[in-house]
Structure 1
Amino acid sequence: MKKSKTKIKILAAARKLFNEQGFSQVTIRMIAMELNMSAGNLNYHYKTREEILEALYFEMVEMFDTRVKDLGNTPITFATIQADMLSSLRQMLDYRFIWTDLYNLLRINEKMKHHFEQVYQDRYKGYEFLFDYLQQKEWMAPFDSKKEKHLLIERMIALSNTSLYNSFIYDNEIDEQELLELCHQLMYMFHPYLTPLGKSEFNKEKRQY
C-alpha cells in the first residue's frame, strides 16, 4: 500500500532521530516535535512507536528486495561481489539504529522477528549459491565437509549483522572508508578457500575495488 506524504515525513523524521539517539531514547512526542506536529496528529497515522519501528523495518526490507532483484542481471565476479556487499552495507547504515540494537528490537516485534528468520535462510542460501558458483569456476576449492561450509557462512552472516554495532560501540566514524574496510573483512573470510586460479582472479580484480 502506498504511504501518504505525511507518513513518509513521519518515517523520515523518526529514522533520523532513531539513528542519532537510538530507538529506546526517542518518544512519539520527540518525533512530533521534529515535525512541528502535535503528538495527537502523529498518533492518527501511527499509534505507537513500535508501529513506526515496524514500518521502517519493512521500508528497509523493500529496498533490500529491490537490490536483490537487480542482481539477477549482474555477472558474478569478485568486483561485483564486493560492490553488492558495499551496497548492502550502505543501506544498513541508512537504518543503522536497527543494526546497532538488532536482537533487542527483534524481541519486541514478533512480525519482524519472524521475517528476519526467513531473511536469514535466504541469505544462507545466497552464500551457498555463491560458493557453488565459485567452485564451478574453479575459483574456490571444495569444502572438506558441510560443517566447514556451514560455519563459514554463519561467520559471514554474523559479521554482517554486527559490524555496525561494533562501530557504534567503539565510537568509530562510519564513513565510506569504514564500509569499504568491512567489505574487505567479509571478502577475506572466504579468501583462504580460493584456489590459486581464484586468488589470481581475486588479486587482479582487487585493483578495481
Structure 2
Amino acid sequence: MKTKDKIKNTARALFNNKGFRNVTLREVAKELCISYGNVTYHFKTKNQLILNLYEDMQNETLEILKTFDYENLLKGILEAPKFTFEISIKYLFFYVDFIEIKRSYTDISLKLEQDNADRKKGYLQILQRLQLQELLRGELIDKDLDYLMDLSGAMRTFFFINLHPKNFLDVDLKDKYVVYVNNLIFPYLTTKGMEKYKSYLG
C-alpha cells in the first residue's frame, strides 16, 4: 500500500475514534511511525487531508450507486441504504463531526452543499417517476418532496451520530439502519406502493 493511502486510512480511523478536531497530522505521523514531513509531503494541511477523504467517500458511493435498479425504482430506493451503510461507517466522522467540519473548512462546506444539491436533483426525478407509477402519492408537490429529501438526510445523519461503541457489536445493525431509513417513505406511498414496499422488505 502506498504511503499516501496509509496516511488516509490511519487518519480516517483516528478521526472516527477521536473526532477530527482531536487529531493532528503529527499524531497521524506518530501512529504510522513515519516523520511529520512525510505526512505533509502528501497532505500539506489537515484541511487537504479531510477534503481528500471526502472525495474518496463520494467516489466510493458513486461506484455503489451504479448498481441502482432504475428499472425498479422503489426497490432501488429501499435497497440503497443497505449498499451505502458500510461506506457511512467507514467515514463515520463526516456524520458525527458534520457541523464542525462545515464551520471549520469553507471549501469543504461549499463542496458538501453542491454535492447535496446535485444529489437532491437526481432523487427528485426518482420520486417524481414514482408518482407517475402511482407508487408515491400524487398530491405531493415538489416542495413536499424537497422536505422529504431533507428529512431523509437528517435521519441518516442522526442515526450515525447516536451510535455508541456497543452498537458496533450488533450483528443486525445494518438491517436496523435499512428499516430506520425506509420507514420514512412508507407513509408517503400509495396503497399500491405500500404493497410493493411490504413485498420487498417482508
Residue 67 of structure 2 is aligned to residue 82 of structure 1: no
Q: Give the 4+ runs in structure 1 shifted more than 4 A.
A: none
Gaps of 5+ in 2: none
Deviation of 1:19 (Å): 1.1
Deviation of 1:172 (Å): 5.4
Number of aligned positions between the proteins = 201
Say which of 97, 103, 106 aligns to 1:107. Answer: 103
Residue 6 of structure 2 is aligned to residue 12 of structure 1: no
Deviation of 1:104 (Å): 0.9
For the aligned residues, what is the CA RMSD? Answer: 2.1
3-state SS of 2:71 partner: coil
Instruction: Look up the match of 2:119.
Output: 123
**Larger RCO, structure (CA 8 Å, separation 6 or more):** 1
Residue 106 of structure 2 is aligned to residue 94 of structure 1: no
Tell me which amino acid in the other structure corresponds to 2:155: L
Say which of 36, 40, 44 aligns to 1:47. Answer: 44
Q: Structure 1 pair 161/60, CA: closer, same or farther in 2 (3 Å)?
A: same
TM-score, normalised by the number of residues in structure 2: 0.88
* Whole-angstrom CA distance in 1 between matches of 2:115 and 2:139: 24
Deviation of 1:41 (Å): 2.1
Deviation of 1:178 (Å): 2.4
Gaps of 5+ in 1: none
Calculate percent identity across the aligned residue pairs.
27
* Whole-angstrom CA distance in 1 between matches of 2:126 and 2:5: 36
Say which of 169, 177, 180 aligns to 1:182. Answer: 177
Q: Is the 8 A contact 2:16 2:92 kept in 1?
A: yes
* Whole-angstrom CA distance in 2 between matches of 1:92 and 1:197: 31
